Amino acid sequence: MTVEPMEPFRFHSCEMAIVSTGLVARTLSELRDCVRRAPEGSLHTHFWGWKMRPQLGEREYTNDLANWVASTLRDRGMAEKLSALSPKDFEDLDSLREEIISVLDRRLEGDDAMAWSRASHPFFFTDSRMLVFDTGQTASTLKEFREAIRTIDTNSIFYHVIDAVRRTPGHEDDFSAWLSGFGELTANLRARLRRIDTALLTLGEIREKINSAIRKSLPWEGDEQ
pTM over 0.85: yes
Domain count, the chain: 2
Looking at residue 116, what is its pLDDT?
81
| Enclosing domain of residue 65 | 18-127
48 and 80 share a domain? yes
Mean predicted confidence (pLDDT) in 156-175: 92
Looking at residue 225, what is its pLDDT?
42
pLDDT in tens, 106-159: 999 977 777 788 999 999 999 999 999 999 999 999 999 999 999 999 999 999
In a domain, 96, yes or no: yes
147 and 54 share a domain? no
47 and 96 share a domain? yes
Looking at residue 174, what is its pLDDT?
97
pLDDT in tens, 55-82: 766 778 999 999 999 999 999 999 999 9
Q: Three-state secondary structure along the chain?
A: CCCCCCCCEEEEEEEEEEEEEEEEECCHHHHHHHHHHCCHHHHHHHHHHHHHCCCCCCCCCCCHHHHHHHHHCCCHHHHHHHHCCCHHHCCCHHHHHHHHHHHHHHHHCCCHHHHHCCCCCCEEEEEEEEEEEEEEEEECCHHHHHHHHHHCCHHHHHHHHHHHHHHCCCCCCHHHHHHHHHHHHHHHHHHHHHCCCCCCCCHHHHHHHHHHHHHHHCCCCCCCC
85 and 102 share a domain? yes
pLDDT in tens, 14-67: 999 999 999 999 999 999 999 999 999 999 999 999 999 887 667 789 999 999
119 and 27 share a domain? yes
Name the domain boundary from 127, 156, 178.
127
